[in-house]
Amino acid sequence: MPNLLVYPIRRIGYKIRSHFLNLNEKPKCLIISPGGCGSISLTKFLDKFIKSNLYLEKKYKIFALGHLYRPPSSFKKQKIKIILIKRNLNEIYKSMKSRGFIRNSLNIYGDLFPFVYINIFKSNIKIKKKYINYLKLFYKNWNDYNENLILKIDFKTLFNYETKLKIKKFLEIKNKTFLKKYPKYKRYKKNKNFIDPSTLLAKKIYKIN
């Protein structure tokens, strides 16, 4: 049980950060999603062209910057551009559950006790309902962001040619290789040797063995 106390403490830290986060450097853009939306592929790609999530996470060790559940007030003042990736909520839940991220992501979304229906009163129905409600709140919070500073993309169109053009225009990228090198959709092969890309990326950033 003592280990479970870690989550309420972390949640307090996430809540403080979501209100008062001030970035040491202004990025060209941040990619935001609740997870399960292909954001890792886009984040890694854009890192080659602009100052974005990975640059800040590596330099300043800002954990889960791309999963902020609401825009800090400083973002609006600094006019930070956001690419928000949306997806069907049930599909997000299914993706995150299959990768074992439900408890930790609930905590990042602001849940004090993400373990209640997982470790104590086990209920698949209640944990899914709770998760879906947090996803709704996540997107509602970002709907209030300045519409001129946010580009909303549906996961279904993330790898389409039209979406490439929208992102290129939104970020004012002049590099001619952007469209050619834009990532293609790849479904995860979750066999016994599968290691989640976000886990690999976190290990690389924070130098975890």
Looking at per-residue confidence, does 13 or 194 come out higher? 13
> Residues near 112 by Cβ (< 8 Å), separated by ≥ 6?
7, 8, 11
Looking at per-residue confidence, does 207 or 88 come out higher? 88
**In whole angstroms, what is the distance from residue 129 CA to residue 103 CA?**
13
Return the pLDDT at 200.
Answer: 57
**In whole angstroms, what is the distance from residue 209 CA to residue 206 CA?**
9
Residue 112 pLDDT exceeds 90: no
Lowest average pLDDT, out of 116-120, 145-149, 200-204, goes to 200-204
Return the pLDDT at 192.
Answer: 64
Chain segment 6-31, per-residue pLDDT in tens:
888 888 888 888 888 999 999 999 99
Chain segment 130-141, per-residue pLDDT in tens:
999 999 999 999
Looking at per-residue confidence, does 112 or 186 come out higher? 112
Return the pLDDT at 3.
Answer: 64
The pTM of this model reads: 0.89
CATH label, 2-200, candidates 1.10.1060, 2.40.160, 3.40.50, 3.30.70: 3.40.50
Q: Give the chain's count of helices (H) and strands (E).
A: 10, 3
Buried b (16+ CB within 10 A) or exposed e, 67-89: bbbbbbeebeeeebbbbbbbbeb
Q: Which two tokens stand for residue 20?
A: 């008062």
Return the pLDDT at 1.
Answer: 44
